[in-house]
Amino acid sequence: MALHSLKAVEKKDPAVQERTVTGRVLSSEDNSALPGVNIAVKGSTRGTTSDAEGNYKLAIPDNNAVLVFSSVGFITQEVTAGTRSTIEIRLKTDDRTLNEVVVVGYGTQKKSQLTGAISSVSAKQITEMPITNISQAMQGRVAGVDVAQSGSRPGATPTVRIRGRRSFNAGNNPLYVVDGIPLTGDRNELLGTRPFDFASGGYEDLNPNDVGSVEILKDATATAIYGARGANGVVLVTTKRGNANGKTTISYDAYAGVTDPLDKVHLFTGPEFTEYVREAYRATNLYNDANGKPVPTGVGDAFADSKVAVLGGDPAVAAGIAANRNTDYQSMILRQGIQQNHSLGIQGGNEKTQFYISAGIFRDKGIVPGQDYSRYSLRANIDHQINKVIKVGLSAYMMYSVRNGANINPYRFTLQQNPLGRPYDDNGKLIFAPTNDALLTNPLAEIVPGAQVDEIKKYRIFNSVYAEANIIDGLKYRINFGPDFSVSRAGRFVGSLTNDRKGGDPTASTNNQVGFNYTLENIVTYNKTFGDHNLGITALQSIQRDNFEYSNLSVQGVPAETQQYNNVGNASLVLGVGSNLIQWTINSFMGRINYDYKDKYLVTATLRRDGSSRFGKNTKYGNFPGLALAWNISNEEFLKNVSWLDQLKIRVSHGSVGNQGVVPYQTQGLLGRTVYAFGNTGAFGYRPSTIGNPDLKWETSTSSNLGLDFSLWRGRVSGSIELYQTNTTDLLLSDQLPTSIGFNAVTRNVGETRNRGIEISLSTVNVNSKGGFKWTTDFAFTKNNEAIISLYNGAIDDIGNKWFIGKPLTAFYDYKKAGIWQTSEADLAKSYQSSVGQIKVQDTNNDGKTTSDDRVFLGSDIPNFSAGITNRFNYKGFDLSFFVYGRFGQTILSGFHRDNNQLAGRYQQIKVDYWTPNNPTNEFPQPKSNQEFPVYNSSLFYFDGTFVKVRNINFGYTFTSGIAQKLGLQSLRLFTSIQQPFIFSKYRSKYNGVDPETADGTINNDVVPATRIMTFGLNVKF
In this predicted model, what pLDDT tens digit does every residue of 460-488 receive, in sequence order? 999 999 999 999 988 999 999 999 999 99
DSSP 566: S
Lowest mean pLDDT among 187-201, 522-536, 921-935: 187-201
User: Does an H or E element contain 302, and which?
Assistant: helix 302-306
Complete DSSP assignment for 757-799: EEEEEEEEEEEE-TTSEEEEEEEEEEEEEEEEEEBTTBS--BT
170-199 mean pLDDT: 71
Q: Which tens digit of pLDDT belongs to each residue from 499-549?
A: 999 999 999 999 999 999 999 999 999 999 998 999 999 999 999 999 999
Q: How far apart are CA 743 and CA 688, in angstroms?
A: 9
Per the DSSP assignment, residues forming a β-bridge with 594 are: 536, 604
- Angle between helix axes 315-322 and 270-282 (nearest 10 degrees) is 120
Give pLDDT tens digits for 388-420.
Answer: 999 999 999 999 999 999 999 999 999 999 999
Structure letter (DSSP) for residue 926 = P
Predicted model pTM:
0.86
Across the range 601-609, mean pLDDT stands at 93
Q: Quick check: 491 pLDDT over 90?
A: yes
Helix segments in 945-1018, DSSP class H: 961-966, 986-989
Give the separation between CA 576 and CA 507, rounded to whole angstroms.
12
Q: How far is CA 486 from CA 186, 357, 874, in A?
A: 10, 21, 44
**Burial of 1 by CB count in 10 Å (0-12 exposed, 13-18 middle, 19+ buried)?**
exposed
Average pLDDT estimate for 840-850: 93
Strands 19-27, 55-60: pairing kind: antiparallel
pLDDT of residue 12: 40
Mean pLDDT of 92-109: 68
Question: Whole-angstrom Cα distance, residue 93 to residue 781?
Answer: 30
Whole-number pLDDT of residue 10: 37
**What is residue 899's predicted lDDT score, i.e. its pLDDT?**
86
Q: Taking 60 as the threshold, does the pLDDT of residue 15 lie above it? A: no
CA Rg value for the chain? 33
Q: With bands split at pLDDT 50, 70 and 90, how would you rate the model's confidence at 27?
A: confident
CB of 689 closer than 8 Å to CB of 671 = yes
Q: Are 952 and 882 in contact (CB under 8 A)?
A: yes
Taking 80 as the threshold, does the pLDDT of residue 97 lie above it? no
With H, G, I as helix, E, B as strand and everything else as coil, classify residue 986: helix
> What pLDDT is stored for residue 16 in this prediction?
52
Q: How far apart are CA 226 and CA 103, in angstroms?
A: 14
Cβ(86)–Cβ(21) below 8 Å: yes
**Distances, alpha carbon 745 to alpha carbons 168, 203, 689, 737, 748, in Å:** 15, 35, 10, 5, 9
Angle, vertex CA 120, rays to CA 116 and CA 121, nearest 5: 165
pLDDT of residue 768: 86
pLDDT for residue 119 is more than 90: no
Asked if the model's pLDDT at residue 9 lies above 50, the reply is no
Side chain identity, residue 666: Q
Closest CA to 307 of 281, 269, 283: 281
- Rounded Cα–Cα distance for residues 745 and 522 (Å): 41
Q: Closest Cα partner for 807 from 882, 733, 858?
A: 858
E strand map for 613-680 = 621-632, 645-659, 671-678
Return phi, psi of residue 221, to 5°. Answer: -70, -30
Instruction: Output the pLDDT for position 433.
Output: 94
Q: Which of the two residues, 96 and 347, has the higher pLDDT score?
A: 347
Q: Is 885 exposed, middle or buried (0-12, 13-18, 19+ CB in 10 A)?
A: buried
pLDDT in tens, 374-395: 999 999 999 999 999 999 999 9
Q: Is there a contact between 98 and 80 (Cβ–Cβ < 8 Å)?
A: no
Residue 585 β-bridge partners: 545
Stretch 223-238: mean pLDDT: 84
pLDDT at 224: 81
- Residue intervals of the chain classified under CATH 2.170.130.10 are 101-257
Q: In the prediction, which pLDDT does 65 show?
A: 87
Q: Closest Cα to residue 63, out of 100, 31, 25, 17?
A: 17
Is the confidence at residue 30, as pLDDT, over 90?
no
Considering the chain, what percentage of its residues have pLDDT values greater than 70? 95
Q: Are 503 and 494 in contact (CB under 8 A)?
A: no
Pairing of strands 175-178, 234-239: parallel
Query: Is residue 351 predicted with pLDDT exceeding 90?
Result: no
**Which neighbouring-strand residues pair with 859?**
812
Transcribe 409-453 into DSSP letters. Answer: -GGGGGGTS-TTS-SB-TTS-B-S-SSS-TT---GGGGGSTTSEE
What Cα–Cα distance (Å) separates residue 633 from each residue in 31, 35, 95, 403, 722?
24, 26, 16, 53, 17
pLDDT in tens, 738-797: 777 777 778 888 899 999 999 999 999 999 887 788 999 999 999 999 999 999 888 999
Q: How far apart are CA 836 and CA 840, in angstroms?
A: 9
What band does 862 get if pLDDT is binned at 50, 70 and 90?
very high
What number of other Cβ atoms are within 10 A of residue 853's Cβ? Answer: 11
Is there a contact between 669 and 688 (Cβ–Cβ < 8 Å)? Answer: yes
Sign of the Cα pseudo-torsion (301, 303, 309, 314, in order): positive
Q: Which amino acid is at 510?
A: T
**Residue-wise pLDDT tens digits, 250-264:** 999 999 999 999 888
Would you place residue 7 in the very low, low, confident or very high pLDDT band (cuts 50, 70, 90)? Answer: very low
Measured CA to CA, the distance from residue 913 to residue 920 in angstroms comes to: 10
Triad 379, 382, 386: Cα angle to 5°: 165
Look at the chain and count its residues: 1022
Find the mean pLDDT for residues 43-59: 81
pLDDT of amino acid 286: 93
Residues 412 and 153: beta-carbon distance below 8 Å = no
As a CATH number, domain 13-91 is 2.60.40.1120
- pLDDT on residue 192: 55
101-257 fold: Ferric Hydroxamate Uptake Protein; Chain A, domain 1 (2.170.130)
pLDDT value for 2: 39
Coil vs helix vs strand at 828: helix
Write the single-letter amino acid at 297.
Answer: T
pLDDT digits (tens, 9 = 90+) for 687-705: 888 888 888 888 899 999 9
Locate CATH 2.60.40.1120 in the chain.
13-91
- State the pLDDT confidence band at 5, using cuts at 50, 70 and 90: very low
End-to-end Cα separation, the chain, in angstroms:
46
Q: Is 956:876 a contact under the CB 8 Å cutoff?
A: no
What pLDDT score was predicted for residue 193? 47
Q: Which residues contact 12 (CB under 8 A, 6 or more apart)?
A: none
Tens of pLDDT, residue by residue over 794-816, are: 899 988 889 999 999 999 999 99
Element (H, E) at 152: none
Model confidence pLDDT, tens digit, residues 306-332 = 999 889 889 999 999 999 999 999 999
The pLDDT of residue 674 is above 90: no
Output the CA–CA distances (angstroms, integers) from residue 862 to 216, 711, 912, in the order listed. 21, 32, 27
Is residue 983 within 8 A of residue 1009, CB to CB? The reply is no
- Of all residues in the chain, what percent carry a pLDDT higher than 90? 57
Spatial CB neighbours of 990, under 8 Å, sequence gap ≥ 6 = none
